[in-house]
């Protein structure tokens, strides 16, 4: 993927979702395409139609940060979407052809996972690859240690694994968020061959993924709530927080928790009894799907 083409496609997709009345413009009836016209967006952003058109068509224009912010404001973009736009427009060298280094989880992070006895926790790397996990995460989400390293990928599991799909009563919401997280991650390295392979596989095997990927929604994995229908302990509603290690900007520690006075807490306690004698498991070996 070319960064300027990807930026243009993203802006075009967002523009199609903004109605004139959403931004205080009159709607004069039928339009050939949904959303704002380029002329309308250019007026709202305070940039020339020609300049905006060149940006959206991916014709190698490198817009300033101020222009990007003005366009983002005109489109009503959120924080994650603004970050995505700026990352897509950031200066880049030639596409990386060298072998990407394996992703490694630091010893300190491994120790932290080992000490989170009552909380499902795992480390995500590039492309939503599960790099490390504790026994509670395996008990909640699936036995990562029994999977092929390539299969330890949350996007692949959410769309292609029947047991994972059954785990989420709100599967569509979880799946759309997963696509949005993956799209946000993709801006870091548009020439990543493993990302292209993953997106290609999921696009071929899942119509839902293909449609949502093409919508170009983006979201940062920060915090939120998920519901689970677990085969052993039943219904759970858990809050998750995501932490980014300062030394590994392409990794994220995800921890699930819940208040002590809830049925979900009792269910987690029961789930913990199944893991009491299980050692923490980690994806220690480097494989092509774990490369950086």
Q: CA 218 to CA 234: how far, in whole Å?
A: 31
Q: Tens of pLDDT along 109-163?
A: 988 998 888 899 999 999 999 999 999 999 999 999 899 989 999 999 999 999 9
Dihedral through CA 150, CA 155, CA 161, CA 163, nearest 10?
Answer: 120
Task: Give whole-number Cα distances, 174 to 18, 44, 158, 198, 247, in Å.
Answer: 24, 34, 8, 18, 28
What pLDDT, on a 0 to 100 scale, did the predictor assign at position 104?
Answer: 86
Q: CA 31 to CA 35: how far, in whole Å?
A: 8
Q: Does the pLDDT value for residue 28 go beyond 80?
A: no
Instruction: Decide which of 227 and 105 is more confident.
Output: 227
What pLDDT, on a 0 to 100 scale, did the predictor assign at position 103?
Answer: 84
Instruction: Decide which of 92 and 149 is more confident.
Output: 149
What pLDDT, on a 0 to 100 scale, did the predictor assign at position 190?
Answer: 85
The single-letter DSSP state of residue 35 is: S
What pLDDT, on a 0 to 100 scale, did the predictor assign at position 94?
Answer: 53
Strand 121-124 with 252-257, pairing: antiparallel
């Amino acid at each position: 993927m070319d960064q300027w083409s990807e930026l243009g496609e993203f802006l075009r997709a967002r523009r199609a979702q903004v109605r004139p009345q959403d931004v205080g413009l009159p709607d004069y009836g039928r339009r050939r395409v949904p959303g704002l016209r380029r002329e309308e967006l250019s007026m709202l952003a305070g940039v020339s139609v020609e300049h905006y058109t060149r940006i959206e068509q991916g014709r190698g224009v490198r817009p300033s940060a101020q222009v990007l912010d003005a366009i983002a404001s005109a489109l009503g973009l959120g924080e994650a979407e603004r970050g995505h736009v700026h990352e897509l427009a950031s200066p880049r060298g030639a596409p990386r052809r060298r072998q990407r280094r394996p992703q490694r989880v630091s010893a300190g992070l491994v120790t932290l996972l080992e000490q989170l006895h009552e909380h499902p926790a795992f480390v995500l790397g590039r492309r939503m690859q599960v790099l490390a996990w504790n026994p509670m995460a395996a008990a909640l989400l699936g036995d990562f240690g029994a999977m092929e390293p390539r299969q330890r990928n949350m996007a692949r599991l959410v769309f292609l694994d029947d047991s994972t799909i059954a785990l989420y009563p709100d599967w569509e919401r979880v799946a759309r968020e997963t696509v949005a997280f993956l799209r946000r991650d993709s801006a870091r390295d548009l020439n990543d061959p493993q990302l292209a392979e993953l997106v290609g596989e999921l696009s071929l095997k899942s119509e839902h993924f293909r449609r949502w990927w093409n919508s170009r929604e983006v979201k940062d994995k920060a915090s939120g709530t998920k519901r689970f229908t677990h085969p052993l302990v039943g219904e759970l509603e858990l809050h998750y927080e995501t932490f980014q290690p300062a030394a590994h900007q392409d990794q994220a520690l995800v921890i699930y928790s819940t208040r002590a006075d809830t049925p979900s807490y009792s269910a987690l306690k029961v789930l913990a009894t199944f893991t009491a004698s299980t050692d923490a498991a980690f994806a220690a070996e480097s494989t092509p799907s774990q490369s950086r």
